[in-house]
């Protein structure tokens, strides 16, 4: 009797392990990412793998405790429904595409298994049971690959497209009978039963021979995904502007290889190694018997069900059986890590913190957009250019940059990065010198370093297009020999739009003293008359004027060359 009870317990253990392993094989072949986003790594077979000599890897957390599957004993049937659930249309009901039923049926009274047998035959029976169970499990594993649902599973696993259906499952101990119409749509395959001391272990499957009626196709609703090559990204075009607002961003669907793709084949053939586990949401249910309320919730995997087997034994909320790239139901872009490629944001593209003027020694060189052949450095006059010098305006920050169209900006670098919208708005008069809405000036620090005269390298050098020079009085501009140069230097430290700069230049040119004015002419005439007497004085006066003018001209020329070279560098 003891031997019989031992063999009975062994048989029960075999059946229990068989049911667990069969369920593992079924779910692994039908539910994408049953193990989560990362496939279990290949490793030395564990004790669990040695059961039935079939190494399937680590089971899902739900199957960690096989006893939880059959709390009422091995005689309880195990019914696994594989469902095809429409994703986009919640009104459409989910359809069962496969139903697997594994059950240990009690032996008939006339069966030799019904009566206790001798010890030797018990041992022999146990061994035979185990051997046959091995082959039966192999057959289940093979048939899973031959049924039509396998194709759907491969499509959902392998493709990075989003389909309009999901594969879900339902495990219960009661099989809801099909209607007569449904029954006609299914084909039936029954495996040869395995005789055990507890009865006959029988496995069968009902499956739809064709799934074409479900119109499995790529869903039009794109799930949220992180796009790396959006317009303006460093990956797409380093020289392209970074959009100012998310609404301006346009992204194309990139074929980013999501590293979170798992493989049910034991080999990550289509998946990339992933370091960040991401779980998917997929509805599932463990339905119970007629007396149990179907539940769509799942318990924590570490808490096996204490009561009925119907209660979910694990938390399947973590497992979201969706196509690979469907990360979360929320529209917010998922956060990736690990192998997900993200090129580091360059300082030129990212909205950097704008240092206050005077604290930064960075020379910001603006380059106008010279791609337009019709562009010239003399845009149409702006209203501001006609404004007379206003001493009060000179009190504004020396680095403030007033745009010709009247746009005001704050001081320092904020003018450069702030209000790119304003930049666009301010291009009415100087559209030829657009900045493309980018607060980023690539020519600033990284690439196109343009050789500028040493004067411009001087921190005190005022950028010639500085707005503050626009309203500076002509007398001030002319009275100080190096003042303008220093003003240019200041302006270089706080930039402003190109068009505003050009406007300033125009203004300066217009307000600059003529090289040959009446005073000069009179002086020149005087110098001619007093040439012999006051030759030195007049010549000095003339040279002073000329020197200033020449100096200005030189500086303008250098600026022009710098801008041209920068634009050429940009074009290339």
Q: Which residues bind other proteins (CB under 8 A)?
A: 42, 45, 49-50, 53-56, 127, 131-132, 134-136, 138-139, 141-143, 145-146, 150-151, 154, 189, 191-192, 264-267
CA dist 470 and 511 (Å) reads 9
Instruction: Match 């001493």 to its residue by tokens.
Output: 391
In the bound state with other proteins, the residue whose beta carbon lies nearer, of 42 and 250, is: 42
Quote the least distance from Cβ 214 to other proteins, whole Å: 17
In the bound state with other proteins, the residue whose beta carbon lies nearer, of 129 and 492, is: 129
- Quick one: tokens of 482? 């190096």
Quote the least distance from Cβ 56 to other proteins, whole Å: 8
From the number of C-beta atoms within 10 Å of its C-beta (0-12, 13-18, 19+), residue 42 rates as exposed
In the bound state with other proteins, the residue whose beta carbon lies nearer, of 111 and 308, is: 111
CA dist 245 and 234 (Å) reads 16
Quote the least distance from Cβ 132 to other proteins, whole Å: 6
In the bound state with other proteins, the residue whose beta carbon lies nearer, of 117 and 549, is: 117
Q: Three-class SS of residue 439?
A: coil
- Quick one: tokens of 219? 């869903």
CA dist 495 and 353 (Å) reads 15
CA dist 157 and 113 (Å) reads 44
DSSP-derived letter for residue 81 is E
List residues bridging with 86 in a β-sheet.
Answer: 165
In the bound state with other proteins, the residue whose beta carbon lies nearer, of 112 and 294, is: 112
Q: What is the dihedral of CA 47, 51, 55, 59, to 10 degrees?
A: -80
From the number of C-beta atoms within 10 Å of its C-beta (0-12, 13-18, 19+), residue 248 rates as middle
In the bound state with other proteins, the residue whose beta carbon lies nearer, of 49 and 551, is: 49
Quote the least distance from Cβ 295 to other proteins, whole Å: 33
CA dist 469 and 379 (Å) reads 18
CA dist 8 and 18 (Å) reads 15
CA dist 456 and 459 (Å) reads 7
Quote the least distance from Cβ 128 to other proteins, whole Å: 8
In the bound state with other proteins, the residue whose beta carbon lies nearer, of 135 and 550, is: 135
In the bound state with other proteins, the residue whose beta carbon lies nearer, of 154 and 240, is: 154
CA dist 254 and 343 (Å) reads 15
Sign of CA dihedral 240, 241, 246, 249: negative
Quote the least distance from Cβ 331 to other proteins, whole Å: 35
In the bound state with other proteins, the residue whose beta carbon lies nearer, of 139 and 389, is: 139
Q: Of 298, 416, 295, 397, whose CA–CA distance to 354 is shortest? A: 416
Quote the least distance from Cβ 78 to other proteins, whole Å: 19
Quote the least distance from Cβ 203 to other proteins, whole Å: 10
Q: Three-class SS of residue 459?
A: coil
In the bound state with other proteins, the residue whose beta carbon lies nearer, of 2 and 146, is: 146
Quote the least distance from Cβ 186 to other proteins, whole Å: 16
Quote the least distance from Cβ 102 to other proteins, whole Å: 14
Quote the least distance from Cβ 267 to other proteins, whole Å: 7
CA 310 centroid distance within chain: 39
From the number of C-beta atoms within 10 Å of its C-beta (0-12, 13-18, 19+), residue 534 rates as middle
In the bound state with other proteins, the residue whose beta carbon lies nearer, of 126 and 435, is: 126
Cα→Cα distances 527→191, 469, 517, 535, Å: 121, 33, 14, 6
Q: Of 439, 86, 379, 56, whose CA–CA distance to 245 is shortest? A: 439
Cβ 379 vs Cβ 432: under 8 Å: yes
């Amino acid at each position: 009797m003891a031997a019989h009870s031992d063999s009975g317990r062994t048989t029960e253990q075999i059946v229990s392990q068989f049911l667990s392993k069969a369920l593992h094989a079924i779910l692994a072949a039908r539910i994408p990412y049953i193990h989560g986003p990362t496939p279990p790594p290949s490793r030395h077979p564990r004790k669990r793998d040695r059961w039935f000599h079939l190494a399937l890897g680590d089971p899902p957390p739900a199957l960690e405790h096989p006893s939880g599957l059959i709390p009422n004993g091995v005689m309880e049937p195990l019914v696994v429904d594989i469902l095809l659930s429409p994703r986009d249309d919640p009104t459409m009901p989910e359809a069962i595409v496969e139903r697997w039923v594994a059950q240990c049926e009690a032996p008939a009274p006339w069966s030799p298994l019904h009566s206790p047998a001798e010890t030797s035959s018990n041992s022999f029976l146990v061994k035979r049971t185990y051997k046959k169970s091995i082959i039966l499990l192999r057959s289940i594993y093979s048939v899973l690959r031959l049924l039509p649902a396998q194709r759907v599973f491969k499509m959902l696993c392998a493709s990075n497209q989003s389909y309009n259906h999901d594969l879900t499952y339902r495990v219960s101990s009661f099989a809801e009978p099909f209607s007569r119409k449904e029954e006609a749509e299914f084909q039936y395959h029954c495996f040869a039963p395995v005789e055990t001391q507890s009865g006959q272990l029988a496995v069968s499957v009902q499956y739809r021979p064709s799934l074409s009626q479900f119109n499995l196709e790529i869903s039009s609703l794109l799930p949220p995904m992180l796009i790396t090559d959006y317009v303006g990204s460093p990956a797409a075009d380093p020289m392209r502007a970074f959009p100012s607002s998310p609404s301006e961003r346009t992204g194309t669907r990139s074929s980013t290889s999501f590293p979170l793709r798992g493989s049910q084949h034991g080999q990550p053939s289509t998946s990339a190694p992933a370091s960040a586990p991401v779980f998917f949401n997929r509805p599932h249910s463990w339905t119970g018997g007629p007396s149990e309320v179907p539940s769509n919730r799942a318990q924590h995997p570490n808490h096996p069900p204490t009561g009925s087997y119907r209660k979910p034994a694990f938390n399947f909320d973590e497992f979201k059986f969706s196509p690979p790239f469907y990360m979360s139901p929320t529209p917010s872009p998922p956060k990736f890590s690990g192998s997900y490629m993200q090129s580091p944001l360059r300082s030129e593209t990212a909205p950097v913190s704008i240092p206050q003027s005077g604290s930064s020694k960075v020379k910001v060189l603006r380059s106008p957009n010279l791609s337009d052949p019709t562009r010239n450095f003399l845009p149409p006059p702006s209203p501001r250019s006609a404004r007379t010098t206003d001493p009060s305006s000179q009190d504004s920050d020396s680095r403030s940059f007033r745009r010709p169209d009247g746009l005001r900006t704050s001081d320092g670098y904020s003018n450069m990065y702030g209000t790119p919208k304003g930049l666009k708005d301010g291009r009415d008069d100087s559209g030829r010198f657009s900045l493309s809405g980018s607060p980023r000036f690539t020519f600033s620090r990284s690439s196109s370093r343009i050789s500028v005269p040493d004067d411009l390298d001087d921190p005190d050098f005022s950028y010639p297009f500085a707005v503050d020079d626009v309203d500076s009085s002509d007398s001030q501009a002319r009275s100080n020999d190096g003042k303008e140069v220093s003003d240019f230097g200041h302006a270089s430290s706080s930039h402003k739009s190109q068009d505003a700069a050009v406007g300033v230049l125009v203004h300066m040119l217009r307000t600059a003293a003529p090289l040959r004015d009446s005073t000069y002419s009179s002086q020149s005439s005087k110098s001619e008359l007093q040439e012999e007497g006051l030759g030195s004085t007049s010549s000095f006066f003339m040279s002073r004027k000329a020197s200033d003018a020449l100096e200005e001209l030189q500086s303008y020329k250098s600026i022009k060359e710098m801008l041209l070279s920068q634009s050429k560098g940009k074009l290339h």
